[in-house]
Amino acid sequence: MPVINTLKQLFHPARQPESDPAEAYDIWAESYDNQPDNLMLALDEALCRELLATLPLTGRTIVDIGCGTGRHWPALFNGSPARVLGYDVSRGMLNCLQKKYPRAETNLLSGVTLTGLADNSCDVVLSTLTVAHLPDLAAALTEWNRVLKPGGDMLITDYHPTALAKGGQRTFRDGERLIAVRNHLYPIPQLLGIAYRLGLTEITLTERKIDETMRPWYEQQNALPVFRRFLGIPIIYGLHLKKPDAAQ
């Protein structure tokens, strides 16, 4: 059975060969929801809740791209949306989501096309810890923008490209194997440049750096050298983009 990734593995100086995200997450799915010591997931949950708290969700249609096991769905449902749809490349992750939400609308994603969604049909596009896995960021954002209604909101979180550039990898263990998931490096200015060309407007950009409050996470895993190496380095970001209203 896979076990959780550690901070040592996340920032290990010796890079591991990277696996296709769909294949890797099919393996990781079995243990993905059981990671109480995963700093990145804790930071992502807090950052995602911050972003969602700025939006009215009641009666809205939300599409969660890279939904995984539905980690953020309790927060989404607390907002009383009209509809929540999930897309992911991993059948294993979607199977875990369906066990928690048997009536969930989920779709296995192949490429970037959001099958079944019409143009201008969603109020909120949400994507967490997914962007760096995408082989073609421009194509993906174009498709997300296609389904977003005028005046709609796009919320993105992901591993910070600065951390990835310094050797960070998303890894986990499957028995004796250490598996790294393939990432692509998309600097934030590149992401914003694509967004601007699509007509999207930046509302907020938030970055979380490794600071002294995170020391206990590293101490718990006997990884203080890693903490010192990355102290002050951004580890995650959150981005809120908005599509102009049709009347503008």
Residue keyed to tokens 């895993």: 221
Listed residue (68, 240, 231) closest to 163, CA to CA: 231
The answer to whether residue 64 is domain-embedded is yes
pLDDT tens digits along 166-199? 887 777 777 788 888 899 999 999 999 999 999 9
Query: Domain range spanning residue 197?
Result: 2-242
Whether residue 247 is contained in a domain is answered as no
pLDDT score at 181 = 87
pLDDT in tens, 80-116: 999 999 999 999 999 999 999 999 999 999 999 999 9
Using the CB atoms, write b or e for 99-137: b if 16+ within 10 Å: eebeebebbebeebebeebeeebbbbbbbbbbbbbbeeb
Question: In this structure, is residue 248 part of a structural domain?
Answer: no
Asked if residue 135 belongs to a domain, the reply is: yes
Beta strands in the chain (DSSP E): 2-3, 18-19, 61-65, 83-88, 105-108, 122-128, 148-159, 170-174, 177-181, 201-209, 234-242
Q: Cα angle vertex 45, ends 164, 175, to 5°?
A: 60
- State the pLDDT at residue 19: 79
Domain contains 42: yes
Residue 60 falls within a domain, yes or no? yes
Tally of domains in the chain: 1
Say if residues 218 and 164 touch (Cβ distance below 8 Å).
no
CATH of the domain at 21: 3.40.50.150
Average pLDDT on 210-232 reads 86
Distance of CA 77 to the CA centre of its chain: 18
Q: At what angle do helices 91-100 and 21-32 cross, to 10 degrees?
A: 30
Summarised one tens digit per residue, pLDDT across range 141-156 is 999 999 999 999 999 9
50 located within any domain: yes
In a domain, 226, yes or no: yes
Residue 210 has pLDDT above 60, yes or no: yes
Q: What average pLDDT does the chain have? A: 90
Is residue 234 predicted with pLDDT exceeding 90? yes
Spatial distance between the Cα atoms of 170 and 129, rounded to a whole number of angstroms: 10
pLDDT of residue 15: 66
The whole-angstrom separation of Cα 195 and Cα 156 is 12
Which pLDDT score is estimated for 227?
85
Tokens coding 172: 């986990």
- Of the candidate ranges 88-102, 122-136, 160-174, 202-216, the one whose mean pLDDT is the lowest: 160-174
Distance CA 44, CA 34 (A): 15
Is the entire prediction scored with pTM above 0.85?
Answer: yes
Q: Rounded distance, CA 30 to CA 174, Å?
A: 10
